[in-house]
């Protein structure tokens, strides 16, 4: 069990925590003393919670579609019954439906928006009473470098840009309650979601790598480090900001 960590006595809710960035964030916060509640539509989120619990850290997992507002509300109640508060929210869950503008379907649009944008909205609304009660909170949205534009990502980039706008607005509204709201915008990171859309060795993936100034893919743990910083008291005077974790793509590359 971790002692004297940055997140001792804190409870963090992480969405999309079954794998990839969400899982890395869960382990990072847990190993620095925080209790963690993990949400994901994938049942293997329970495996992540068991791994964390095996290290002597308090963890729970719930299989939830965060695009379902009723399900989110029920999950938050269950989490509050277990941990009694929620100090940190990491809005990580998201899906991607790669397609050119002409090929995007209305179903693609609705589902990606429902999870990636409305899901963050639902989760934030439901945790706010707990944060306001404590007059304290840290909210970190996982946006993406794709928020600046990316080929075949009409819906995904719109949602990720939307998270940036939401965080800036929420930062202003919630500042009186000492609640900080920020974004981390990764890309390209070697996660299951990225590799599903960009298979290793494919021409598209090789083109992406050639345009990363640092010459490699990022690791989920590197994103988790940035999230943990923004979720900690070390970042208490930072709000409404977006931190890109992208190997320099935003300044020196063209992200296909």
- Catalytically active residues are 156
HSE of 152, CA atoms in CB hemisphere, 13 A: 9
The total number of residues written for the chain in this structure: 256
CA angle 13-16-18, nearest 5°?
Answer: 100
CA 173: distance to chain centroid? 21
Residues 221 and 20: their CA atoms lie apart, in Å, by 9
- Residue 74: count other Cβ atoms within 10 Å of its Cβ: 14
């Amino acid at each position: 069990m971790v002692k004297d960590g940055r997140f001792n006595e804190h409870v963090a809710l992480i969405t999309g925590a079954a794998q990839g960035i969400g899982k890395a964030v869960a382990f990072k916060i847990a190993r620095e003393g925080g209790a963690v509640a993990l949400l994901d539509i994938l049942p293997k989120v329970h495996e992540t919670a068991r791994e964390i619990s095996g290290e002597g850290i308090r963890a729970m997992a719930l299989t939830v579609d965060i695009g379902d507002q009723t399900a989110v509300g029920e999950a938050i109640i269950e989490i509050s019954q277990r941990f009694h508060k929620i100090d940190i929210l990491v809005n990580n869950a998201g899906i991607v439906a790669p397609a050119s503008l002409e090929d995007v379907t209305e179903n693609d649009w609705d589902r990606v928006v429902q999870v990636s944008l409305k899901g963050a909205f639902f989760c934030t609304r439901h945790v706010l009473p707990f944060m306001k009660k404590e007059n304290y909170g840290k909210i970190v949205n996982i946006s993406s470098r794709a928020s600046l534009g990316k080929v075949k990502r009409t819906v995904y980039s719109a949602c990720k840009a939307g998270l940036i706008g939401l965080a800036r607005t929420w930062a202003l509204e919630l500042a009186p309650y000492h609640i900080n709201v920020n974004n981390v915008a990764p890309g390209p990171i070697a996660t299951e979601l990225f590799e599903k859309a960009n298979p290793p060795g494919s021409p598209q993936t090789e083109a992406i790598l050639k345009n990363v100034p640092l010459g490699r893919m990022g690791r989920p743990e590197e994103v988790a480090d940035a999230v943990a910083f923004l979720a900690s008291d070390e970042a208490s005077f930072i709000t409404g900001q977006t931190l890109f974790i992208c190997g320099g793509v935003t300044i020196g590359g063209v992200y296909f």
